[in-house]
Amino acid sequence: MSVEQSTANTDHNLPEMGVGEISTMLKATVESAFQRVRVRGEISGFKRAPSGHLYMTLKDDDAVLDAVCWRGTAARLRLLPEDGLEVIATGRLTTYAGRSKYQIVVENFEVAGEGALLKHLEGRRRQLAAEGLFDADRKRELPFLPDVIGVVTSPTGAVVRDILHRLADRFPRRVLVWPVLVQGDGAAEQVAYAIEGFNALDDASAMPRPDVLIVARGGGSIEDLWAFNEDIVVRAAARSDIPLISAVGHETDTTLLDFAADVRAPTPTAAAEMVVPVRYELQAQVADDGIRLRGSVMRQLQKLSLRLEGLARGLPDPRRALEERSQWLDEWEERLRNSLGAGLRSRRQNLAASAASLRKPDHILRMCAERLAVESRQLIRALGETVKDRERALSQTSALLESYSYERVLERGFALVADADGKPVTSAKALQPGDQVALRFAEGAACAAIMGTREEKFRKSASRGTARPKSKASDTRQGKLL
C-alpha cells in the first residue's frame, strides 16, 4: 500500500462537521475555560447601541480584545467607559459565531490604578469647564441668614450630626435633610435627584424651599468620592437655582462638584459655619452698632443744635418784627376802610347820574309805536302803488299778446289751411291736386279740395298763349299767415 493511499484512507476516516457545530464546540470550550477573568487594557472604539448595550475593544501593545456590556449590566456600572481610559474589565470570555471572533462579556469596570483615574478625572474636568459649568460669573452669594437649610448627605453617617450640632451652636435654623447614598452604585443619581428635588419645591409645596443647600460627605479615597465627580451630579449643581455649598471629603480632597458649586467648604463642619453667623457674636455686634449709632445721632444733634443757636443769633428779634408788622397792618386796614367808603360813594353818584340820563320805558314805547304807525301807513301806500303798476303792466302785456294772436289775423280776412292730419299747411308745394284741406275763418270753418296749384294753371295758360290777369290773391304784399 502506498503512502498516498494511506493518507486518503485517513482523510476519509475524519467525521464531517458543520460550521455551526464547530462554533458551538468552540463556544463551550472557551466559556468553560474562561468563566471569570480580569483583563487590563485601554478602551477604544466605544459606542452605545440604541438597544442600550455597550460595545468597545480592549487593547494593549500586543493585542486587541472585543468587549460587550449588556444593557442590564451597563445600568449598574459605577464607571462609564470612555475612549482612552485604561481599565480592568471583569467578566467571562465567549465567542461570537457571526464573525468568528472571541470577546469578553463585561460585568464590571475598574480604573487601572489611581494615576489613570486622575487622568480620566482631569479630562472630564476640562470638558465640563469648556461647557462653562465652572465659570465664576455663575457663582451666587450665600444668604446672610437663611431661614431653611437643605442638606444632602447620608442619614447614618457622622456628617449630618456634625452639621446639625454646629448649626445649633452657632445659630439654630430649620434644617431639611435629604437622605442619599454617598458612594457605591446609584449614589450619583440619588445626589443629583436630591439637588433637583430641593429646587423643585415652591410655595405650594408641603415643605418650605431651602434658602441654601449643603452637599456633604466625609473623607475617603478617590474611588469613594467618585460619585461626586459624575457628570449628572456636576450638571445638577450647575443648574441649581438655590446657592449650593460643596462639603465633600477633607480639606485636601477635591471633586468636580467643588468647581460647579457656588462655594467650596473644606469640611462639612466648615460648611455649617459658612452658612450661618454666630448668634451671640451677631447680637453683640448689633448691640455695639446700636451704641455707636446712638452716639453718632447724639453728636449730630448736638452739632445741629449749636449751628441752630449760631444762626439764631444772626436773626432779628421776631417779637419786634411782629410788632412792626402789626402796626403796618393796622395802618393798611384803616386806609382800606376809607378807600372802600369813598369808592362806594363814587359808585352811587355815577349810578344816579346814569339813571337820570335814562328815558322812561313808556315814553320809549310811545315813540316806537308812533314810528311804527307812520311806517305802516307808508308801507300800505307803497304796496297799493306797486299793485297798480303791476296791473297796468299786465294789461299792456295782455293787449300786446292779444294783438299777436292768429285769431286777430283771421278777423282781417285771412284763413288757416290745415291738411287731413290737422297740421297747418305753410307751402303750396306740400299740396297735390285732389288733397282734402280744412279752412278755418274768423267765424266758422269749411272743407275744400285742391283742384290744382297756381303754377300749374300758369303753365297751362302760357301754353294757350293767353295770359290771365293776376288775381288779388296773388298779391304778395299781404304776407303769410303763419
- With b for 16 or more beta-carbon neighbours within 10 A and e for fewer, the 429-447 pattern comes to eeeeeeeeebebeeeeeee
pLDDT at 179: 93
The length of the chain in residues reads 482
Please give the Cα distance from 46 to 68 (Å, whole number).
Answer: 10
pLDDT at 301: 92
The 416-418 sheet, strands edge to edge: 416-418, 436-440, 445-449
Task: For Cα atoms 237, 239, 241, give the angle at the middle one, nearest 5 degrees.
Answer: 95
Measured CA distances, 365 to 357, 359, 371, 379, 461 (Å): 17, 10, 10, 21, 97
Helix pair angle (268-275, 158-170), 10° resolution: 30
The two beta strands, 263-264 and 244-248, are parallel
> Are the C-beta atoms of residues 442 and 410 closer than 8 Å to each other?
yes
pLDDT the model gives residue 367 = 87
Alpha-carbon distance of 211 to 204, in angstroms, equals 16
Count of C-beta atoms within a 10 Å radius of residue 415: 15
Contact 166, 269 (CB under 8 A): yes
- What would the grid cell of residue 421 be? 292730419
For residue 196 the three cell numbers come to 433637583
pLDDT at 223: 73
Greatest CA separation for the chain: 186
pLDDT less than 50: residues of the chain: 1, 466-482
Residue 342: all three cell numbers together: 369813598
C-alpha cell at 185: 452604585
Q: What is the pLDDT of residues 195-227, one digit of tens each?
A: 999 999 988 888 899 999 999 998 877 777 888
**One-letter identity of residue 45:** G
**Residues 6 or more apart in contact with residue 440 via CB below 8 angstroms:** 410, 415, 416, 418
User: Going edge to edge, which strands form the sheet with 174-179?
Assistant: 174-179, 148-153, 212-217, 244-248, 263-264
Contact status, residue 243 vs residue 271, Cβ threshold 8 Å = no
Is residue 182 packed enough to be buried (19+ CB in 10 Å), middle (13-18) or exposed (0-12)? buried
* Burial of 191: CB neighbours in 10 Å, binned 0-12, 13-18, 19+: buried
Residue at grid coordinates 299793485: 387
Q: What pLDDT does residue 455 have?
A: 62
Instruction: Classify residue 300 as exposed, middle or buried by CB count within 10 Å of its CB (0-12, 13-18, 19+).
Output: exposed
